């Protein structure tokens, strides 16, 4: 047995002897009725302290679990912040934008009008003409739809390029039907020629539908209708965004 081990054994025996002596002293004290009352009170206090320590340990364990949960939530939150920042920095160019609010000057002018002007009786207002039909626009392609297009049909066309083509087609459709919806007398000479050209393109099959032809795409949206763009039109037809109607030497791209 080494010197260190001998010292540990000696200390252990001494502690046991001291503990036995203390018990004998307490036993002798317990025989005294006056001192026994104090020992009982001390025992009650010790038991109360032990109960408080148990409750404190349970509370610490609960707080430790709560801290762990909060750290996990913080990690999830940081991940959401990074994803949101990535989305903010990579907004698709075709994403619809929020309409601009009314300018403060216009709001101030409206609020400064006399009450009798703002709340004019309805019968005094001139009858309004019914608004013309809204112009239909092609919906943008979703990521899922783009992924569903066969690779041989997509070629090297990207998701953003295809939706840029959708935006250009909508520009042509909007420009065309704005002219068609205006009274002929209010148009300029150039617009009247376009109006007549658009009318000549129509057939009984296109009645009530919105369509453009290649010439409309070139003139109204400055699109180059080449082989690559023809491939995009096939992709849009695959995604049920348009269909073709042929006749009279024209290919009409009808919005669905």
Say how far apart CA 187 and CA 248 lie, in whole Å. Answer: 27
Last residue within a domain, chosen from 88, 122, 148: 88
Q: 230 lies in which domain range?
A: 133-255
Domains held by the chain: number? 2
Question: Would you state the structure tokens that stand for residue 84, as one six-digit string?
Answer: 């949101």
| 66 is a domain residue | yes
Q: What secondary structure does DSSP assign to 59-105, as a single string?
A: HHHHHHHHHHHHHHHHHHHHHHHHHHHHHHHT--TTSPPPPPPPPHH
- pLDDT by 10-residue block (mean), the chain, 256 residues: 74 83 73 70 80 85 90 88 83 59 49 48 49 80 93 91 93 93 90 92 91 92 89 94 91 93
Say how far apart CA 242 and CA 206 lie, in whole Å. Answer: 13
Count Cα atoms within 13 angstroms, Cβ side, for 176. Answer: 28
Are 68 and 147 found together in one domain?
no
Are 147 and 248 found together in one domain?
yes
- Output the pLDDT for position 54: 86
Last residue within a domain, chosen from 54, 88, 122: 88
Contact 174, 137 (CB under 8 A): yes
| 102 is a domain residue | no
Query: Is the pTM above the cut of 0.75?
Result: no
- Output the pLDDT for position 97: 53
| 74 is a domain residue | yes
- Output the pLDDT for position 119: 44
Last residue within a domain, chosen from 88, 118, 153: 88
| 95 is a domain residue | no
CATH number at residue 205: 1.10.10.1890
- Output the pLDDT for position 22: 79
| 96 is a domain residue | no
């Amino acid at each position: 047995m080494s010197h260190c081990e001998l010292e540990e054994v000696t200390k252990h025996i001494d502690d046991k002897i001291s503990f036995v002596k203390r018990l004998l002293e307490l036993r002798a004290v317990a025989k005294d009725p006056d001192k026994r009352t104090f020992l009982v009170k001390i025992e009650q206090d010790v038991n109360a302290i032990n109960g408080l320590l148990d409750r404190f340990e349970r509370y610490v364990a609960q707080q430790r679990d709560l801290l762990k949960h909060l750290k996990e939530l913080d990690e999830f939150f940081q991940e959401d912040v990074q994803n949101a920042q990535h989305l903010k920095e990579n907004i698709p160019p075709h994403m619809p934008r929020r309409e601009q609010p009314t300018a403060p000057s216009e709001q101030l002018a409206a609020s400064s009008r006399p009450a009798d002007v703002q709340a004019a009786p309805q019968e005094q207002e001139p009858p309004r003409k019914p608004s013309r039909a809204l112009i239909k626009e092609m919906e943008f392609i979703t990521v899922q739809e783009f992924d569903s297009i066969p690779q041989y049909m997509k070629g090297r066309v990207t998701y953003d390029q295809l939706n840029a083509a959708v935006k250009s087609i909508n520009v042509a459709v909007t420009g065309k039907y704005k002219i068609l919806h205006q009274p002929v007398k209010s148009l300029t000479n150039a617009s009247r020629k376009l109006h007549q050209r658009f009318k000549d393109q129509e057939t009984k099959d296109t009645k009530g539908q919105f369509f453009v032809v290649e010439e409309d795409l070139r003139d109204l949206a400055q699109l180059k209708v080449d082989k690559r763009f023809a491939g995009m039109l096939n992709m849009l037809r695959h995604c049920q965004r348009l269909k073709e109607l042929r006749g009279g030497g024209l290919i009409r791209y009808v919005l669905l």
